[in-house]
Structure 1
């Protein structure tokens, strides 16, 4: 088939592009801006354009008719490419429908990794482990990997490992052979207006799964009837920094036990060598790390990991989405105590309610127990100088957020040569 991906540089669509190509389909697509993935795909002779006014889609369709238009959930209903695809009579769908087609076409058993926090790392760990113990695997991970592409189809594989996101109710479109639930905390109020709707979605996901592995605390929280679930209580001892990493790895070991595919000692050795995934406590320079976390529990967990690596940690934090901040502002309490200093940036705005007032950094830090160590800051040269000073003093600088903070700090690294 000829498949056009709209938003092919993003973490949701990007891995599917690589999977579709591996599966023998002709690929082309667009995005609004360049990214490492768009550049990588172009180097691999995929037709990629930057800009989404519809002209490239029309041109491609005239040369070789497009069979399927796959688009990201971020596309609005009035998006130029989406409207044009409809006018041209091209089949259109979001990523879940296309992935379901691949699973059925290739007769793959789905191992889905779901949860509020830890999905990317846990999915990456499971893919890493499968590769290490010599089991062919197909997969999709919502981040870059140091040990392979973000998405892959292996014709020898029996299983497909998928980072199964709850946003836009994506995960409810699947009936997994096996599901892992990493953690559950109410999130995505733009998709789930109430906490009850959020927990109900996870109960439904578990009901749709042939088998599920999850933590006792999460099973109790959502009040699931876990008759066909393996509920676990204790973290096993593993040679990994960070309590949340050890918890995620514990889930992975249970998958191996359930599938009966490797010896415990081989699993422990392999997980101890896990190199991590992009933007999950990713080292991008001396004493400088980037992390995607943007929820109070993620911040606390990542700071705990950072303190296992260094006795002195400086945090640069960019909150994500104003409507999320309105819901979690009272949860900002003692999560920042492991940081010597915190530089708090304005909230990155996306998918906002235009009638909701924008919360300032000052409003968000009101209840912090260590407010005296927090500096309201901007992404400017003053902040970069503070980061460089902390690094020169041997402190670990952790830049956290799901918005523009990662690109900004990487660009500063390139321009400063450090």
Structure 2
């Protein structure tokens, strides 16, 4: 069977293409632009990728090798509902679905138990921690890891595995298409207002997801937030458990994530907590989660208020008062949503640079919050040390000067091609 993946360079679709390839499917795809992830796929045997998404291009792919199944991301459907690839597939009676339908089919065919990682923040890091720990503990598991790491491919379908680890994203209610054997819920805080117009709508989606799981590992604060009575198969963790201090990873959020992973492994496999903690304390990290680009310069995917707080806490744990931040917001729509939260968020940093937000899936009716406008919304304490900037030579020189002075520079960037993260790698990565 030939599966064509639209948006194959995305961190959700690309790893699924790897899993499909390893499951015996013929794989090809398309994307709007070239990227490091498409290069990564080519190195892993997926090179039949077209840059540019048009009816002509997909027709050529179909002519060369008839497409049986067209898989696309939620973002593609939202950004361009009249996408030319959609029209071609509809005209040629090609099966079309989002990624969840294909993954569910693979899980069902291979009789795998799904371990799902869900939550507003920390999903990718927690997924990586879980994959790392299972590897070190010799527990075979397939997985999709939507980030690069030194210890695992971005997607794998292990032949001897009985389990599959997957980051279940709430965006577009995608996670409600799965019925996990076990779910780790990393934390719940209202996000994606374009999908969930109220906090209660967001919470209700998580209630439904948790109800669909055989077992759940939850924080007490989230149980309280959802006003939910835990079931017999729920393991509820105290937010202030002193035993979390046994985990030596940098950052409170990373220690919480690792503790939840250790508890989940104990619940599923009866592996003692201390054994899991020992391997989790050697976790080498994952790309774009406080990833060091060069000495003293870090890139982090934080883009919601809680994620930003978590990244700042790690930065302050490392740098103390010498933390400089470069902020690139993800989506103009989200900047409107979190604008009030940004007011005092950066008060404790030494210097702040704001670069233009990364734009995608925008509401055209909303005013564009430019860098001067975002700066104007900050507290007086923050404004006095904030520069409205751009991805420019001036910013590059400023970062170099901060690094030379011994400061730690943390860049908050959640975009893809053309983002602050990509600019950093082009200008600073060795």
The alignment partner of 1:346 has SS state of: strand
Alignment of 1:352-371 (within 5 A): 352-365=362-375, 366-368=377-379, 369-371=381-383
- Matched with 2:305 is 296
The alignment partner of 2:192 has SS state of: coil
- Work out the number of aligned pairs and report it: 415
- Matched with 2:277 is 268
Task: State TM-score, norm by structure 2.
Answer: 0.93
Gap change, CA 1:297 and 1:44, over 3 Å in 2: closer
Would you say 1:100 and 2:104 are equivalent positions? yes
| CA distance, structure 2, for counterparts of residue 254 and residue 112 of structure 1 | 14
Q: Deviations over 1:66-106 (max 9, x none)?
A: 11111111212211112111111111100111111111011
- Matched with 1:398 is 410
Of the three residues 147, 154, 160, the one matched with 2:164 is 160
Flag structure 2 segments of 5+ consecutive residues without an equivalent: none
The alignment partner of 1:408 has SS state of: helix
Compare 330-339 and 13-22 and name the one that shifted more: 330-339
Which ranges of 4 or more aligned residues in structure 1 deviate by more than 4 Å? none
Q: Deviations over 1:230-274 (max 9, x none)?
A: 211134120110000001011101111101342333211211111
Of the three residues 229, 247, 251, the one matched with 2:234 is 229
- Is the 2:259–2:277 Cα contact (8 Å) retained in structure 1? no
Would you say 1:332 and 2:342 are equivalent positions? yes
| CA distance, structure 1, for counterparts of residue 390 and residue 66 of structure 2 | 47
Task: State TM-score, norm by structure 1.
Answer: 0.96
Gap change, CA 1:132 and 1:338, over 3 Å in 2: farther
The alignment partner of 2:96 has SS state of: strand
The alignment partner of 1:318 has SS state of: strand
Would you say 1:255 and 2:257 are equivalent positions? no
The alignment partner of 1:355 has SS state of: coil
- Is the 1:41–1:48 Cα contact (8 Å) retained in structure 2? no
- Matched with 1:4 is 4
- Matched with 2:39 is 39
TM-superposed CA distance for 1:355, in Å, is 1.2
Of the three residues 387, 407, 410, the one matched with 2:425 is 410
What is the RMSD computed on CA atoms of the aligned residues? 1.5
- Is the 2:142–2:161 Cα contact (8 Å) retained in structure 1? yes
- Matched with 1:48 is 49
The alignment partner of 2:329 has SS state of: coil
Flag structure 1 segments of 5+ consecutive residues without an equivalent: none
Alignment of 1:82-101 (within 5 A): 82-101=86-105
Q: Deviations over 1:187-215 (max 9, x none)?
A: 11111122111111001101111111111
The alignment partner of 1:278 has SS state of: coil
Compare 333-342 and 179-188 and name the one that shifted more: 333-342
- Is the 2:293–2:424 Cα contact (8 Å) retained in structure 1? no
TM-superposed CA distance for 1:43, in Å, is 3.2
